[in-house]
Amino acid sequence: MVTILEQVFRDQWGRVLAALIGFLGDFDLAEEAAQEAFAIAAARWPRDGVPDNPGAWLVTTARNRAIDRIRRDRTLATKTRMLQVAEPDEAIVTATTFPDERLELIFTCCHPALAVDAQVALVLRTLGGLTTVQIAHAFLVPEATMAQRLVRAKRKIKAAGIPFRVPPQHLLPERLVTVLAVVYLIFNEGYGGRGELAAEALLLGRALAELMPSEPEVHGLLAMMLLLDARREARFRDDEIVLLADQDRSLWDEAQIADGRAVLDRALALHGHGPYVVQAAIASLHADEPRDWPQIAALYGELARLTESPVVELSRAVAVAEALGPEQGLDIVDRLALEDYHYLHSTRGELLRRLGRPIEARDAYRRALALVHDDAERRLLERRLAELETSTGPTR
Amino acid sequence: MKYLLLIHQGDSPTPRSPEAWATLSEDEQKAVYADYQAINQAPGVTPGLGLDAPETATTVRVQDGRTLTTDGPFVELKEAVGGYLLFEADDLDAAIELAARIPAARLGGAIEVRPIVEW
C-alpha cells in the first residue's frame, strides 16, 4: 500500500497541485490543501481502497479543504473574493476528470521575471513534488536558503501578478526556451552525479512532450536527455569518470537509447532543427560504433552556429580532431577565448599528446588541473598527467 | 493589477543633452516622441508628471534631528529615475510588454516595473 501511495503521489502531485493553483490562484493555499489531501488519502485508502480516479479524488478533497480554510479565514478580503470566483467552477472537479494545468504551472514557474535558481526550485517543488529539504540537498545549499528562495519566488508570483497561463502565441517561443533551459539545467545537475535530479528532469521532459506534442524542441530536449542518460551507468567506474571511448557498452541502456532515437525521429518529423534537436542528433551518433566523426563535427558546426558558444566550438574541435587529425582540431582550439575553462586545456593537452608534443601537453594538463573544481574530473586529469610522465620519462 | 513603471534613462539620448540627442537620426527622434505619446495614450496608462533632470535633485536625510541635504539624486546620476507612469493591467506580462515599448528601454536605459499594493 505504501508503494501504491508513493506511486500515486509521484504520478499525481504535479497535476493535482497545478489544478489547485489554477482553481485557487494561490500557490501556498494550494500546496497546503494538496498536502492535506494526500495525508487524508494515506489514512483512508489503506482502509477503503484506492478510488477509481485518484487524481480527481485528491483535487476534490483538497479543494474542499481549501474552501473550508477560506471560510474560516473570511477576514482576508482577497481570499474571500477568490472564493466567490471559485465556486461556480465546482462542476469541473466533481467530474471524474479534472483539467491538466501542468503546462500553465510550468510556464508560471519559469516566468522570466523570476531568477533562474528560483525557477528551478519552483519547478522541482511544484511539478516534481520534491520537498524543500530534498531540493536544498540536491543543489548543495542550506535548507534555510532554499526555503527562503521558494517563499520569495511564490510571493513575487502573487505580488507582481505573474499570470497562471500558457503564454499567448507571440510570447510562446521565447518563454518555451526558458522552460526547456530550466529542465535541461535540472538534468545537468543530475548528470553530474545526482541521479535523482536527472530522473526528475526526464519526468518533466516526458510531461512536456505529452503536453506540447507539436513542439520539435520539446522532443529534442527529451531525446537528448534520454540518450545521454542511457550511458549513465557506464560513465563512472569506482567513482572515476570513464570517457565515452573507454565505456563498457554493455552498461548502456539499449532500450532507452532506442526510446531516445524514437523521440528524436518525432522531433525531426516535425522539421525540428533547433539546438536541442541538434544535440540529440549528436548524442544519437555518439551511441553508434564506429562513430561517424565527420557527421558529428558537422552537427557541432551547426550547433555552434545556432548557439554562438565557444564551448560548442571546443566540442567541434574534438570531433574535427577525430575526423581529420589532431592538428586540425588544435587549430580550432587555439582560436577559442576560453582561457579559464579547464576542458579547453585538457583538450589541448590530449591533442598535443597525440601530436607527439609531450612537454606542451603536460603544461596544458597542469593548467587544466589548476582550474578544475570537481574531484572526479581532477583525478581524471591527474591520471592523464601521470600517463604522460611515465611515457615521456622524468621531466625537467 | 496596478503597476508603477519607473523610467531610468541610463545612457539613452534625451533632448536634455543635445549632443547625445543629435546621435539619433531625425526619424529616430520622431519615433521617440511618437512612442512616448502612444504610450501615454495607451489604455490603462496614467502618464506621470514631467520630472526635471536628475542633476536638479536634492536628497534629504535627517540625522540626530538635523536635516541634511546633498546635491543630486539618492542613487548615481545615471541610475536616477527620469520619469514614471502608472499602468493598470491584467498581469505582469502586459506591464512587461508596455515597458518594452518605452524608448528608454531600447536606447540604453531600463524600466523598473513595480506592482502597487492595494489595501
pLDDT category of residue A11 using cuts at 50, 70 and 90? confident
pLDDT category of residue A341 using cuts at 50, 70 and 90? very high
Which residues, 6 or more positions from A213, have their beta carbon under 8 angstroms from its beta carbon?
none
pLDDT category of residue A82 using cuts at 50, 70 and 90? low
Cβ proximity of A341 and A317 under 8 Å: no
Q: What is the pLDDT of chain A when averaged over all its residues? A: 89
Name the helix (H) or strand (E) containing B63: strand B58-63
For the segment B39-73, what is each residue's pLDDT rounded down to a tens digit?
Answer: 999 999 999 998 998 999 999 999 999 999 999 99
Return the pLDDT at A206: 95
Q: Is A172 on the interface with B (CB under 8 A)?
A: no
Helix, strand, coil percentages, rounded to 5, for chain A: 75, 0, 25
Return the pLDDT at A235: 86
Contact B93 A159 (CB under 8 A): no
In chain A, which residues have their Cβ closer than 8 Å to the Cβ of B44?
none
Return the pLDDT at B11: 87
Judge if the upstream peptide bond of residue A290 is cis by omega within 30 degrees of 0: yes
**Global pTM value:** 0.85
Beta bridge partners of B112: B6
Q: Which whole number is the average pLDDT over B2-17?
A: 92
Contact A163 B91 (CB under 8 A): yes
Q: Is A178 on the interface with B (CB under 8 A)?
A: no
Q: Which whole number is the average pLDDT over A294-309?
A: 96
The distance of A131 to chain B (nearest Cα, Å) reads 28
Residue A369 above 90 pLDDT?
yes
Percent of chain B with pLDDT over 70: 100
Beta bridge partners of B4: B86, B114
Contact B113 A160 (CB under 8 A): yes
Tell me the C-alpha distance between B86 and B115, whole Å. Answer: 10
Tell me the C-alpha distance between A62 and A68, whole Å. Answer: 10
Segment of A82-96, A140-154, A189-203, A365-379 carrying the highest mean pLDDT: A140-154
Return the pLDDT at A90: 43
Nearest chain A residue to B115 by CA distance is A160
Nearest chain B residue to A175 by CA distance is B93
Tell me the C-alpha distance between A288 and A265, whole Å. Answer: 16
pLDDT category of residue A50 using cuts at 50, 70 and 90? confident
DSSP-based three-state secondary structure for B69: strand
On the CB side of A140, how many CA atoms lie within 13 Å of its CA? 5
CB neighbours of residue A391 within 10 Å: 9
Residue whose entry in the numeric block shows the C-alpha cell 479534472: A98
The distance of B115 to chain A (nearest Cα, Å) reads 5
Residue A378 above 70 pLDDT?
yes
Contact A163 B92 (CB under 8 A): yes
Q: Provide the residue count of chain A.
A: 396
Give which of B5, B93, B101 to mutate to test A binding, by max A Cβ within 10 Å.
B93
In chain A, which residues have their Cβ closer than 8 Å to the Cβ of B92?
111, 113, 160-163
The phi and psi torsions of A390 (rounded to 5 degrees) equal -70, -35
Contact B95 A111 (CB under 8 A): no
Return the pLDDT at A171: 93
Return the pLDDT at A396: 47
pLDDT category of residue A88 using cuts at 50, 70 and 90? very low
Query: Beta strand pairing status for B2-8 and B110-115?
Result: antiparallel
Tell me the C-alpha distance between A14 and A103, whole Å. Answer: 10
The distance of A217 to chain B (nearest Cα, Å) reads 24
Cβ proximity of B3 and B86 under 8 Å: yes
Q: Is B51 on the interface with A (CB under 8 A)?
A: no
Cβ proximity of A377 and A348 under 8 Å: no
Contact A171 B93 (CB under 8 A): yes
Residue A77 above 80 pLDDT?
no
Residue A93 above 80 pLDDT?
no
Cβ proximity of B93 and A167 under 8 Å: yes
Return the pLDDT at A89: 45
> Where does residue A118 rank: exposed (0-12), middle (13-18), buried (19+ CB within 10 A)?
buried
Query: Beta strand pairing status for A240-241 and B110-115?
Result: unpaired
In chain A, which residues have their Cβ closer than 8 Å to the Cβ of B117?
159
Residue whose entry in the numeric block shows the C-alpha cell 582561457: A339
Lowest mean pLDDT, pick from A78-82, A98-102, A273-277: A78-82
Return the pLDDT at A236: 84
For the segment B76-92, what is each residue's pLDDT rounded down to a tens digit?
Answer: 988 899 999 999 999 99
Q: Is A159 on the interface with B (CB under 8 A)?
A: yes
Percent of chain A with pLDDT over 90: 70
Q: Is B112 on the interface with A (CB under 8 A)?
A: no
- Quote the distance between the C-alpha of residue A228 and its chain's center: 12
Predicted complex ipTM = 0.88
Cβ proximity of A236 and A242 under 8 Å: yes
Beta bridge partners of B81: B8
Return the pLDDT at A99: 81
The distance of A180 to chain B (nearest Cα, Å) reads 19
Residue whose entry in the numeric block shows the C-alpha cell 523610467: B7
CB neighbours of residue A131 within 10 Å: 13
Q: Which whole number is the average pLDDT over A336-352?
A: 94
Cβ proximity of A105 and A126 under 8 Å: yes
Contact A113 B92 (CB under 8 A): yes
Angle at A216 between CA A214 and CA A218, to 5 degrees: 90
**DSSP class of B66:** E
Return the pLDDT at A91: 41
Return the pLDDT at A193: 60
Angle at A32 between CA A28 and CA A36, to 5 degrees: 170
Query: Beta strand pairing status for B66-71 and B58-63?
Result: antiparallel
The distance of B102 to chain A (nearest Cα, Å) reads 18
Tell me the C-alpha distance between A228 and A253, whole Å. Answer: 10
Return the pLDDT at A147: 97
Identify which of A55, A45, A78, A67 has the alpha carbon closest to the alpha carbon of residue A8.
A55
Return the pLDDT at A72: 82
